[in-house]
Structure 1
């Protein structure tokens, strides 16, 4: 079995580790835009090239690839899944049409409303250039989130209270975005965020435990948004602030989404990532992604008990219902080391030295290797993961692991700590009116 992985980040490193654990002993190949040292060490061969159709397809053919896994979202937007599938190579990653659930936020919201999928906030889609229309919607809704319709790497969304203090600020940002394309303006969801990820063959969904990401750059949820500074999961399906029904509601929304995508956009094979907000009015959808989250993938794939290559084959054959996908009932805490100054003015090209990291697992992200030395690129560098029976013990393992890595790097110290989790529990209780 020859498996091809597309992508060069931390998400792809953990996917590579999960493929390498398979009892089928697959030969792993990769196409990466830069050499990820963690992924490269697991590969029989790899190609450093653009993660696009022109690079991937000839390479896949030359190596006789049996299955492909697309890690990031950008190749989906380039139609890579379509090119692989049309070339006879089954792919974990949806075709371009159903992938619109992530690639186009306007399409996704209209799709949810049209097919009566639960959890959709009040929203309006504003066409490119319609500044007056945008301003009218902002005046009407007041407390809003403003979102560019296309891909932004998770950093284009701005909300009232965090990014602008008044309606005029929201209007100004919407006007700026409308020079480049459509904009979604929607009610600003207030509550506790959580993520649920599922593997699907377009019919059956295999759900991973819920995870909570931490977007803010600094301790205490302060500072600008990032791609995610770290995340945690509990020894079960739900997080400490959640009720079982919250998880079930999220799963039902995702099932309904996959069912309607199959009917109206095409069979969706791959990962569906649901980012949800637990609000005073129940579970709402912040957004969907068409791939694993980063860092949230770190919390779930290391716990996967079922052979990942078996799952990939079942998704390709649309027989996922025949497999019992299981995860270890353990807690996890993931903390990202990032360069000094990240995200506004990060230091680049600094040396990272790995020492004794104890029981922690390491996943290389935005780094590169040159003559055996690892350097930062300016984005999130290394994810450090602790796994244990409790969140408290997992956090200790992760923090201990951080101390074994030297470089001009920092991490959030509060992710997975009792104090921050208690804050989440109390917030959720207030939302429920308790």
Structure 2
């Protein structure tokens, strides 16, 4: 079985909805056996791919996000934003975005964001008269800030795969994530300006004060995570572990931490992490095959013959990720394509950190696109609306997200300014 046939078999299995990890690992084992390699060697390679200290941050960051949902911290963020923005016309739309931004500093997962906050935000907006398409589209789109803003789980996986600094990638992601939030903010302002029926309510200082006190502990979480990493006090894995302990302390202080809640949070984290780790392991086995076949050299020669312009290469790269993101899981794409494309990007003079941010933003937008976009289906489940209704609601929000993607491609300094300023 040559690499072309291997790729075709994997693609067919993915199309048939075979779980991503098994769709990759099974053909890899068959290929290894045909090449005279033992099954044990292939399995050992897969295990080595996940036996990594930096990857310990993945389940810990997932647990932080799950605990934030289950311990009522997401509700406290929502109440704070609602109290702070009460006088703004169309305030619930801004509250939706503000809560997503605040929650993104604690959760590196779009699915955790839309599953947790969507249950609060969408019903509140529907009761206030917002159309279902707008409410669901905004909730789904704003959830993409979480996997871009640190602590970003895709960034941890990319950094481990590409052997780059997680801290540098975290720092580089802050401005693009902020631009995504700004783009969505502008769209909300335009949308609400044309609808005077969404009025404001008087500002209640007492309510704002109570909400501020209730949210103080939660707002310390990003200080612990990002502050600890960027100042060199913690590694990303240590920051994730510290943030997990902090969440447990907050839960005990808020009296929402109970054994049943903790067990449910651990079970949810285990299920999510198990799926990711199987994909990581299978991609490590595939990476061995791609390395033996010298695929990166072949890709570099092909692209070199096609163009020597870095901007054209980035355009092709974006098109590739948009197409792949629509049909394949984002984690699998990072693990399979980065070892191949990273050397090529470096040959074109593209900084690995800049390449990483472009990859992550592209693939996170893919979470909103059919047929595989997982955020689509979670939003549909939360709202109990057909997927086509959610897709129509999301479509206008893709415009500001695409604008940010164009911006970070054309102006690398937007991405690289903060890492350079912090000495990475």
TM > 0.5 fold call:
no
Provide the TM-score with structure 2 as the length reference.
0.28
Q: Which has the higher strand share?
A: 1
Structure number with greater CO (CA < 8 Å, separation at least 6) is 2
Q: Which has the higher helix share?
A: 2
